[in-house]
């Protein structure tokens, strides 16, 4: 069965500093990979996704993520964080093809705190 | 871009009553939608897959008689929590995949619905 591990429950970063959120997955094939952000009391917003092709994907709000097959990782990065980036971040995996149950499996999330 | 909308965003109901949550894909057709549940400060757990025109597929441990799912059209799926109890209080989120040309097979999530059972 597929699984997603986000090893960091909380991360604190100073405003303007760089950020990397870790995500490791376990899946039988190349999965469909996502990063979502959730502000308190809100739904999920898609930051970026990887399906195939270039392993470095660009997303919204200045985020990027790199798929590393050898490490089964899909870490999220941002060169300079803003106070508005404080939120919960979820990494998720899903099967690349449709049909049947292709709901996503989510990691437990990483809570990002921005220090002034 | 494509949007998935949920209604209501917040609902409070009395214990023992039923409550319905709607999930709509606003500008694309979704033959399959998904319902997730999120407890406070926890991750999302897939509850069931909603299939247009057929029965929903439930994940292990999810009571199908308690969480009724109806996918009556290509743009609407509903989740009805029957005989709600306080332990059903949670954040319920739906999602749908846009298979349309140029959509990149993106999965979109609704804004979520907070259910509080008192």
What is the model's pLDDT at position B102? Answer: 63
The chain B residue lying nearest A101, using CA atoms, is: B49
Chain A residues touching residue B42 (CB < 8 angstroms): 108-109
CB spacing of B106 vs A44 below 8 angstroms: no
Say what the pLDDT of residue B101 is.
64
Asked if A49's CB is within 8 angstroms of B104's CB, the reply is: yes
Q: Tens digit of pLDDT for each residue in B1-42?
A: 558 999 999 999 999 999 999 999 998 888 889 999 988 878
Question: What pLDDT score does B104 carry?
Answer: 58
Task: Please enumerate in sequence order all residues whose Cβ is within 8 A of that of B32, keeping only pairs 6 or more positions apart, or say none.
Answer: A98, A102, B49, B50, B51, B52, B96, B97
Tokens of B1: 């871009």
Cβ-based interface (< 8 Å): residues of A facing B: 32, 34, 36, 41-46, 49, 51, 90, 94, 98, 100-109
For A43, the closest of B105, B106, B109 (CB atoms) is B109
What string of pLDDT tens digits covers the 116 residues of chain A?
A: 788 999 999 999 999 999 999 999 998 777 889 999 998 877 888 899 888 889 999 999 999 999 999 999 999 999 999 999 999 999 998 876 544 346 788 999 999 999 99
What pLDDT does A36 receive? 93
| Cβ-defined contact of B43 to A108 (cutoff 8 Å) | yes
| Interface contacts (A, B; CB < 8 Å) | 61
The two beta strands, A32-38 and B106-109, are unpaired
Q: Give the model's pLDDT for residue B1.
A: 54
Separation of first and last alpha carbons in chain A: 41
Coil vs helix vs strand at A71: helix
Pairwise CB contact (< 8 Å): A102 & B97 = yes
**CB-based contact A104 B34, cutoff 8 Å:** yes
**What is the phi-psi region of residue B75: left when phi exceeds 0, alpha when psi lies from -120 to 50, beta otherwise?**
alpha
Q: What is the pLDDT of residue B31?
A: 83
Which pLDDT value is given to residue A101? Answer: 46
pLDDT of residue B79: 97
- List pLDDT tens digits, range B67-115: 999 998 999 999 999 999 999 999 999 998 776 766 656 778 888 999 9
Q: Which of residues 41-60 of B touch A (CB under 8 A)?
A: 42-46, 49, 57, 59
Quick one: pLDDT at residue B98?
75
In a 13 Å sphere around the CA of B18, the CA atoms on its Cβ side amount to: 11
């Amino acid at each position: 069965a597929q699984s997603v591990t986000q090893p960091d429950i909380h991360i604190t970063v100073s405003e303007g500093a760089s950020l990397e959120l870790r995500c490791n997955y376990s899946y039988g094939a190349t999965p469909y990979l996502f990063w979502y952000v959730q502000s308190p009391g809100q739904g999920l917003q898609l930051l970026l996704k990887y399906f195939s092709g270039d392993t470095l994907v660009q997303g919204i709000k200045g985020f990027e993520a790199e798929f590393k097959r050898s490490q089964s990782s899909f870490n999220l990065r941002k060169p300079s964080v803003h106070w508005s980036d404080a939120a919960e971040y979820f990494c998720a995996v899903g099967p690349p093809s449709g049909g049947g149950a292709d709901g996503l499996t989510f990691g437990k999330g990483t809570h990002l705190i921005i220090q002034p | 871009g494509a949007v998935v909308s949920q209604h209501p965003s917040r609902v409070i109901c009395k214990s023992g009553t039923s409550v319905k949550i709607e999930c709509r894909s606003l500008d694309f057709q979704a033959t399959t939608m998904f319902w997730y549940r999120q407890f406070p400060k926890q991750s999302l757990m897939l509850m069931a897959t909603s299939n247009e025109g057929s029965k929903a597929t439930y994940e292990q441990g999810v009571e199908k008689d308690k969480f009724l799912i109806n996918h009556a059209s290509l743009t609407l799926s509903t989740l009805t929590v029957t005989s709600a109890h306080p332990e059903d209080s949670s954040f319920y989120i739906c999602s749908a995949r846009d298979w349309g040309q140029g959509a990149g097979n993106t999965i979109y999530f609704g804004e979520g619905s907070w259910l509080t059972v008192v």
